[in-house]
Each structure stands twice: as structure tokens, then as C-alpha cells.
Structure 1
Amino acid sequence: MSDNTFNPAGAWGFPKADPADHPEEPAHVRPEYLFNGELEKKGYHVEELANGFHWVTNSFYDAAFIETGEGVIAIDAPPNLGENMLAAIEEVTDAPVTHVVYSHWHSDHIGAASMFGNDVKIISHDITRDLLARWPDPLRPLPTETFSDEAVLDVGGVKLELSYKGENHCPGNIFINSPQHRVLTAIDIVSPGWSVFFHCDASENMTGWIDAHDQILEYDFDALISGHVTRYGTRDDVVAAREYVHNILDHSWDVLRETRGNELMVEAGPERRWTWAENEFNRLANEVTHRTLTQTTSNGQKWTERLAGASNMTKYHAWSIMESVRLHRTHDDYQRRGPAINKYIW
């Protein structure tokens, strides 16, 4: 594929990444099911994490279901899994799905929920229902039951603790905890063993998203259902993800506070002001990326050795976290009356 075919926008578009510039995925994110032919044969992998609590994945998206003795509770319904989730449930039990819990309103995680039929009870946060009602989608039926802060779903003695701690990845994104199984579901915060997807998984509140790592660690769990990528998570995965994110956050603070002068603005000239803005923000993000990926982390490795995709995705996280620092946190100072000071008040 030529560069022109890949990027017809030329200088106005994104450059093509060269796979040769990036390391292979670490072995710890390549579980056996990726290589034993299961995905090619069935399209999914299902695994029991605890008594009756099952994890379902196709190596890109994951979800879960729980046997209750009075039916099945499904957690999310990613369209990328689609009816393969039904196949996974049928592989384990003949019991019908009676309840569906929506983690949040995004279509990539609940966009196949209509496959469960019209008789299921659907539980979500109030905000999730409001958003789905505002932008209706027949593939995402409206929740039948909602809550605002805390709720307990009890089906046949199987209890799920539902909690909303404020906006993070998006408004209405909830924590779903099963104490008896020691399994926590927290979607689009951590991708176990991986750097998350572009721009902190396209999160809408970076500050809340960063805080969510600490909120996850407040729970006592053995397994984490995270929504992505190749495996379920452990507490150690969350600790590593938190360290990575806080490294980016700390470097963002440092780089913004060190910024001086307007050389790039002078270079751009007054007629092309946004080229200065693009170059300045990208320069800062590049510096944060460099500091993050060249540092030695707490276990003696670089992040490219600890997290798959860190070499690709860190620059996007650096850009978004740096921008969230600029927008959500104190500026430390402001322009006084008179001529502009020789400092970029970020």
C-alpha cells in the first residue's frame, strides 16, 4: 500500500506507523487460547473464573455471565462478540438469560443487547438510561431498572454490588462487584497487560479516569473484567496500569511547568497560528512520551516491556493527559496586566 493510498490527506493527515519500529507483544498478553485454534473454530473463548462466574472473550472485547440457579445474569453485550456470547452461555448452561447489566452506554460494549430478547430485565445507571433515551438504538434496549449511587442486584442469592463513583471513562460508567466470586467488572479503565486504546480509551473525563485506578484498588478481588484485550486482569495489572498512568501524569506536570518562550509561534507567524498550536502541543506530548518510555519502572523494566502497545499508544495518552492537566488543574499562575510575560501560561 502506498503512502498516498494510506494517507490521501498528505501533510494534513496521520502518518503510517511502521510495525518494524515497535516491539512484539510481551508473552504475558498471549494466552494459550490465542494459539490452540479455539478462536478460529468457535470465535470465542469462555472460562470459569469462580463458581458460576464466566469470562467470555474474542481477544479484542470481553464480557461476562453468571449462573444464579434462577437464570443467567449477563454483563454487557459487545457487538464484536455478538451471538458468540449466547453460544458461550449455551456451552455452559441451558438456563435462560434473565438479567443484563449495562456497564455504560457505549455501543461497542452493549450494542448487541437486543439479542437477549424482550423479557430480560436490564439494569444500568440513571445516566446510561438518559443517554440511551436521548439517542435511541434498537440494538441497545432501554434499561428497565436504574440506580443513582449504589444498588445490589440479587438473583437467586447471587449478589452483584453496583456502584457509581462519578464520571470517568464516560458519564454513567459503573463498577460491578461480585464479592462471593471475588470478580470485579470495571470497563474501559485498565486493559490488563496492555496500554489502553487511544487517548486513555477515548475517555471523556481524564481526571476521573485516572482516579478510577485508585477506586478499583479499593475493592478486594482476584479477577478483573475490563472490556479489553486478550486476558482478564489481576490486582497486579491494575497496580501496573496505575503506575504507568501516573508516570504520564507526573511528566505532564513537569513538561508544562518547564515550558518557556514562544519560539514556535514566531516560526509559524501570525497568519498560521494553529500550526504553532499543533507543533507546540505535539512537542510537549513528545517530551512526555520520551520521558515515560525511557524511564526504568518500579520492577526494573521499561514500559514497552511491561505493557503491550505502549510504544504505539503512549503518545496519545500523553497528549490527552497533558491537555487534561491544562484544563482540569491549576495553572499555577496567570498573566498580569501589561505586556505578555516570556512564559507560555499553559
Structure 2
Amino acid sequence: MSNFEKPGVPTDRYGLGAAGMPLNDHTDYRPIPADAYGTLFLPDRLAKGYHVEEINDGVHYVTSGAYDNMFIRTGNGVIVVDAPPLLGTNLLKAIREVTDEPVTHFIYSHFHSDHVGAAHMFGPDVTYIAHDYTREMLQRWPDLNGGAPVPTETFSTHETLDVNGVKVDLDYKGTNHTPGNIFVYAREQKVLAAIDIISPGWSAFKNCDASENIRGWAEAHDWILEYDFKAVVSGHVNRWGTREDALASRAYTNDIIDFAKEALDEAEDLEFIQRHGFSNAWLLWENYFNEMTNYVTKKTLEKVTDNGQNWGDRLAAADVMTKYHAYTILEALRLEYGLTSRFEKRILPQ
């Protein structure tokens, strides 16, 4: 076994040095708060590989411990929202664990295969529903594993699905994590599916959850809070979220944005030029962005929040992921918000 394969022994296996990505260990980061693990270590999840629970009046939450989704019993068929491959056929087992009703409707939150790549297992007789853009993506670039059937019904801004009197609102408020990423709201049960925006109790995954439009992703935190919800199913990590989780995620994101704006305004330009010169432009820009990223990361992790904790302690793995969000948001401020740093103003022709 190589050092790379031994748990807890980071190594530069490929000899890349500065050209490669660093490998870190658990000891490099803060411990994960016990309440952030949610369902991960529950006996049923450990035994079966999944956990299923009823959130409210027929709306059920299912998780593998890393990916999650929801389904709704209507009394005349089951509505399923997403089918992550890492849940796979365990999702079928979870449904059968609580009902004999057939699956009649499948809703795509968005086109990303990690959330919908097991949709094919429900078969051809199911109605597959998605935003127009999701259908376009699945038609143009089919899932290479054949896991995501092309939707049979689509909508552009709003649709209400009514199955046996159970009403589910499908809303598209604009580009966010991806174009076509929708909100799915079981109105009577007050349960919302809003995928790849927040991660309850945790920092989002790298680069603002690999989102395609960062400004829209940030705004989507406000859109979530416009709903009157008891629970939000987010796609990650291992528990459903509350309104307090959504508020915390929005505050964390807004703090990163505010500190990134501050970094763009405060960055010292001449020091970078004097240290690196212009001969290797990408080295100059890399160090410039890394310096600003570190500034934003430090400010964010040390920010004391409204519950008296700093973000480094309040959100699980914030010390792992904040640097990636900081860099991504710094770039978005330049590309999507139209802000220009003092550094750029100094080196670019006026």
C-alpha cells in the first residue's frame, strides 16, 4: 500500500510540488461537531446503508449519509424528488419500507447526474417532470450511464403538481446553482426541496457547491427563506435542515461576499508587482488571488456570529471549504457583479 492509500498520511505521490494540490489530514482541521453528523452514525443507516424518516404527513426524507432526497406519499402514488446514484436502489427499498404505493411521478431538481443519475430505475411508466433547461441538457448531453431519462413534461417558471389532492409547487426563480435548478415545495406539509444551495449544519461543498452562477446561488438563499417551511431537503449532507440552518448559511455566504468586497478594495497592488514582476503573468495573478483568498478566509472563519460562535466552529468543515468559496466569490465579484480591484485598476490601462 502506498502512502497515498494509507489513511491519515498525506503525501505528494506524484512529485508535483507547487504544481499539485495539497493533501491534508483530519488533524489539520477542527473536529466535526457531533450534531452535524445527523443520521450518519444511526444504527439503521449503518446497517442498511440508508436512513428514511417521515418529516410531515407523507413527506419522507432519505439519505445515504452523504446524499439525500425526498418522496411524498399521496394515497394514490408516490412522488419522488431526485435519485442520487449514491442512494441508488436503496431509495427503492426506503420507499417500499413505508408504502406499497407505486411511484407515479419523478421530479428533477436539476440536471446534475450526482443527484438524478439513478432516475431510470423507476421505469418508463413514470411521469418525469423538470424545468425546460433540464430537458435540454439531458437531450443534448445524455447521462453516459443511461441513468437520467429525458423528462416527459416540463415547465418554465411555475407548475403545481396535484396528485390525489396532494399539491406540490414547482418554482423556477432564475439561474442559481445551475440554470434550471428548481424549488419543490409540498405546501400543506411545509417541506421544501432546494438542492445544492445550503448544507444544513455544514459549509457547502467546494466553490459554492460547484455552482455555475455564483450571484444567483447567493440570491437563492433569500429565495429559500421566502417559503414558509418546516424542513428543507438540500441534497447534502446527512440531515434535513431548519429555518435556522438556512439563516446561518445565508449569513455565512453574505459574510464571505462582504469580506471579498473588502479584499478587492484593500488589496495592496505594488507589493505583488515588486515581488513577482510581470514575466510570469499567471504566477502574479495566482499569488494575488491566493493572498486575497487568505484574507477573506481568515476574516470569515474568525467572524463571531449571532450565536456567539465563529464560523469556523459553527459550521462543520468551514475551515476545509471557506477558502474555496472565498476564491470563487472573489472571481464572481469581478465577473458577475462588475467590481474591479485596486490591483487591476493599477495595472490595466486607463
TM score, norm. by length of structure 1: 0.94
Residue of structure 1 aligned with 2:106, choices 77, 90, 100? 100
Residue identity (%)? 51
Q: Secondary structure at the match of 2:269?
A: coil
Shift in Å at residue 129 of structure 1? 0.1
Contact 2:135 2:150 in 1 (8 A): yes
Once the two structures are TM-superposed, the CA of residue 23 in structure 1 deviates from its matched residue by: 1.1
Aligned to 2:247: 239
SS at match of 1:74: strand
Q: Which residue of 1 aligns with 2:7?
A: none
| RMSD, matched Cα | 1.8
Q: How much has 1:98 moved relative to structure 2?
A: 0.6
For residues 109 and 332 of structure 1, the distance between their equivalents in structure 2, rounded to whole angstroms, comes to 36
Query: 1:274-293 maps to which residues of 2 (within 5 A)?
Result: 274-293=282-301
The Cα offsets for residues 63-116 of structure 1, whole Å up to 9 and x where unpaired, read as 111111111110000000000000000001111101000000000000000000
| Structure 1 residue 266: Cα displacement | 3.4
Structure 2, gaps ≥5 residues long: 5-9
TM-score, normalised to structure 2, is 0.93
Mapped to 1, the partners of 2:338 and 2:40 lie a distance apart of 46
Picking from 25, 30, 48, the partner of 1:23 is 30
Query: Which of 145, 154, 177 is 2:162 aligned to?
Result: 154
Q: Secondary structure at the match of 1:64?
A: strand
Aligned partners of 1:7 and 1:16 also within 8 Å: no
Structure 2 counterparts to residues 57-68 of structure 1, below 5 A: 57-68=63-74
| Equivalent-residue separation in structure 2 for 1:86 and 1:341 (angstroms) | 56
Distance in 1 between residues matched to 2:194 and 2:51, nearest whole Å = 20
- How far 1:332 moved relative to its partner? 6.2
Q: 1:333 to 1:7 in 2, by over 3 A?
A: closer
The equivalent residue for 1:111 is 117
- The within-5 A match list for 1:1-346 is 1=3, 4-31=11-38, 33-137=39-143, 138-331=146-339, 342=346
- Gap change, CA 1:75 and 1:333, over 3 Å in 2: closer
Q: Does the aligned pair in 1 maintain the 2:77–2:101 contact within 8 Å?
A: yes
**Whole-Å separation in 2 of the counterparts to 1:301 and 1:287:** 20
1:124 match: secondary structure? strand
What SS class does the counterpart of residue 177 from structure 1 fall into?
strand
Q: Is the alpha carbon distance of 1:343 and 1:253 closer, same or farther for their aligned partners in structure 2, counting shifts above 3 Å? A: farther
CA distance in 2, matches of 1:344, 1:91: 63
The question of whether the paired residues in 2 share the 8 Å contact of 1:99 and 1:121 is answered with yes
> 1:235 corresponds to which letter in structure 2?
R
Post-superposition offset of 1:328: 1.5
Asked whether the 8 Å contact 1:194–1:309 carries over to 2, the reply is: yes
Shift, 1:213, TM fit: 0.3
Per-residue Cα deviation, 1:197-243 (whole angstroms, up to 9, x for no partner): 00000000000000000010000000000000010000000000000
Give the match's secondary structure for 2:135: helix
Which amino acid is the alignment partner of residue 40 of structure 2?
A: L
CA gap of 1:301–1:333, structure 2 versus 1, over 3 A, is closer
Check whether the contact 2:334–2:340 (CA below 8 A) recurs between aligned residues.
Answer: no
Superposition deviation, residue 334 in structure 1: 9.3
Deviation at 1:7, TM superposition (A): 4.5
In structure 2, how many angstroms separate the alpha carbons of the residues matched to 1:89 and 1:141? 20
| Cα displacement (A) at 1:341 | 6.4
Runs of 5+ unmatched residues, structure 1: none
